[in-house]
Structure 1
Amino acid sequence: MSVTIGIAGITGKFARELTSILLKNPHVAIKGYCRDPSKVPQSFTSKVSLVKGDAYDEPAIRSFVAGCDVVVCCYLGDPKLMEDGQKLLIDACAAEGVPRYVASDWSIDYTKLKLGQLFPKDPMIRVKAYLDAQDKVKGVHILVGMFIDGFFGAHFNVYDAATTTFKYWGTGDEIWEGTTYRNAAEYTAAICLDKDAVGILKLVGGQSTFNEIVALFERVYGVKPKVDRQGSLDDLFKLMNEKREKDPKNIFSYLFLFFQYYMIEGTTDIGPELDNDRYPQVKPVSWEDYLRMVPKDQLPTAITKVGQNV
């Protein structure tokens, strides 16, 4: 039986990975939605039915979702897009009889947070509540932790490639839950084909402490990195809030500090019980697996290559 899967924001990193995986299945038809079809990889264009439109073009959105068995939102942007844009997609799914909607989550367990704690996740909290109130569309929320590909990037400020230094807050024994983009896309593809998959699904590639990740780095690359403790978790909490209060418009001065805090503070942990066993055809990619796949000199820029080789 064929399945039609709609992918909103099909030109993005995650969407490209997801699309390339789904296209390997001869029983899957894909509809893509984007503002600029010229940005869709050529390898997709002959195999994907594209609808052009922006996130607020209601007629185009209705046309896009029509006939889909499930719609996956791969939007990534400002709070208005992540909330209002998704609500328009959900409303269109309800109007067109699409039974399932995969929200743009792929995150830590934000369902345990209150509004305002980790502010970039506020739209997700509101969208989940919006889906929970629906009677025609079932929401699907995929929790994967952080994207491992981004952990070693300069923007995250944990790994300094120039000096081979790892920087951390806390004790170093806090668990980092992470999944690669590709692995998360593999799980998402399996969920799209599983018509009974609704609600929250917890699918994590690897769970390792900071100290374990450092030890894995040394084991895999044969290089002993330097380690720099920045302070306690209380120090991190104080610093990130001080930076936000002092200069709220300079969001990148504190954004990743907030993410670091809530990733390791414990409240948003996804485990220990996971849903990985529900999809045995997908092999979890652990922190060690990732390091063995990526050459050391490519770690800082690996995230820029996500979705490029499709």
Structure 2
Amino acid sequence: MKVGIAGITGKFARRLLTHLLEPSNPTLTIKGYCRDPSKLPDFLRSSPQLELIQGDAFNTELIASFVKDCDVVVCCYLGDDKLMLDGQKLLIDACEAANVPRYVASDWALDYTKLELGQLFVKDPMLHIKAYLETKKVVKGVHILVGGFMEPIFSPFFGIVDAQANAFKYWGEGDEVLEGTTYSDAARYTASVVLDPEATGLLKFLGGRTTIKELAKSYEKVYGVPVTLEKRGSLDDLYKTMHELRAKEPQNIYSYMSMFFYYYWANGQTVLGPELDNARYPDVKPVDWEGFMSLWSREQLGTAFFSLGQIGLNLILEWPFALYNLNN
């Protein structure tokens, strides 16, 4: 099997590549497309199973060369609407022309198919790309949903967990269902999907479900410290606040974007369940919210997301052969 990965140097793509290059897949070959191959760690870049093509997202000639002979193409782009819409459409068109059977869209999100255009505006490109793929005759779309990524949920971006003060700050009642999966587990499921020629359409995988109140109890259990719960307001208050901030300073997207994510993550509209596809790949054993916290010290929990771009001990432990390649 030949797998194409567009945007192969990104955080998620690195994880996916690591899992695809496990010793259990010795005959797999991978074509990677990116602007700067040097951003890949040496032990990945030097793999004999990997071919790298350097180019930008809008070079139609290079993209056609990249997708040629692939059995599946995975898009790991992450950027503005032009990249996520026009960039993906170029990839999809190239796949259609080259008779590539499957295209894994750059999703890995909550269930955006239940959203209306403009609600969680940063997910609008996903709706457009899903509809675009449905117009194609050859290439079939693959859309992987995972809830929220656990790592950024604990980061300062969301402002939910203050590890220094052992405080959880939340909107709503604290008993809203929150779904999440780690980057690594989402990548493991994606690798399984990539290797499964029959996997097409909408696929839902999940590490765990929790609530803010349950998450606080897990935090107390894992770290052995009491937690303070601070309610910021109702979900209606959140809705009003986030729209007021956006109307006041639309260009200051970081002042309100996390609020939009929180609202549509917690209001029940984008819940994946109850039917999931975890059982389709029983070899993948995802960690739940408490399991994720147990992987990190309390002091490091808020930096878990930022460590994804680094090749450190965790990655070496996940792929034993990395240590060999780093030392040879």
The answer to whether the superposition gives a TM-score over 0.5 is yes
Following superposition of structure 1 onto structure 2, how do residues 1-310 of structure 1 map, counting pairs within 5 Å?
Answer: 3-24=1-22, 25-47=25-47, 48-309=50-311, 310=315
CA RMSD of aligned residues (A): 0.8
| Alpha-carbon distance between aligned partners in 1 of 2:257 and 2:248, rounded to the nearest angstrom | 13
In structure 1, give the amino acid aligned to 2:26: P
Q: Please give the secondary structure, in 1, of the residue aligned with 2:17.
A: helix
Structure 2, unaligned runs of 5 or more: 316-328
Residue deviations 1:132-155, cap 9 Å, x none? 111110000000001001111001
Residue deviations 1:101-146, cap 9 Å, x none? 0000000000011110000000000000000111110000000001
Which sits farther off after the overlay, 163-172 or 253-262? 163-172
Judge conservation of contact 1:178–1:206 (CA < 8 Å) in 2: yes
In structure 1, give the amino acid aligned to 2:249: D
Alignment: residue pair count: 308
Residue deviations 1:256-283, cap 9 Å, x none? 0000000010111001110100000101
| Alpha-carbon distance between aligned partners in 1 of 2:198 and 2:145, rounded to the nearest angstrom | 17
Judge conservation of contact 2:164–2:299 (CA < 8 Å) in 1: no
Q: Please give the secondary structure, in 1, of the residue aligned with 2:287.
A: coil
In structure 2, give the amino acid aligned to 1:11: T
CA shift, 1:35, in A, is: 0.3
| Alpha-carbon distance between aligned partners in 1 of 2:7 and 2:87, rounded to the nearest angstrom | 11
CA shift, 1:156, in A, is: 1.1
CA shift, 1:161, in A, is: 2.4
In structure 2, give the amino acid aligned to 1:107: A
Judge conservation of contact 2:60–2:90 (CA < 8 Å) in 1: yes
| Alpha-carbon distance between aligned partners in 1 of 2:27 and 2:268, rounded to the nearest angstrom | 41
| Alpha-carbon distance between aligned partners in 2 of 1:244 and 1:307, rounded to the nearest angstrom | 30
The alignment-based identity, stated in percent, is 58
CA shift, 1:307, in A, is: 4.2
| Alpha-carbon distance between aligned partners in 2 of 1:300 and 1:207, rounded to the nearest angstrom | 20
Q: Please give the secondary structure, in 2, of the residue aligned with 1:258.
A: helix
| Alpha-carbon distance between aligned partners in 2 of 1:96 and 1:220, rounded to the nearest angstrom | 51
Residue deviations 1:19-56, cap 9 Å, x none? 01101121211110000111111111122100011110
Q: Please give the secondary structure, in 1, of the residue aligned with 2:232.
A: strand
Judge conservation of contact 1:17–1:307 (CA < 8 Å) in 2: no
CA shift, 1:245, in A, is: 0.6
| Alpha-carbon distance between aligned partners in 2 of 1:271 and 1:157, rounded to the nearest angstrom | 26
| Alpha-carbon distance between aligned partners in 1 of 2:189 and 2:211, rounded to the nearest angstrom | 23
Structure 1, unaligned runs of 5 or more: none
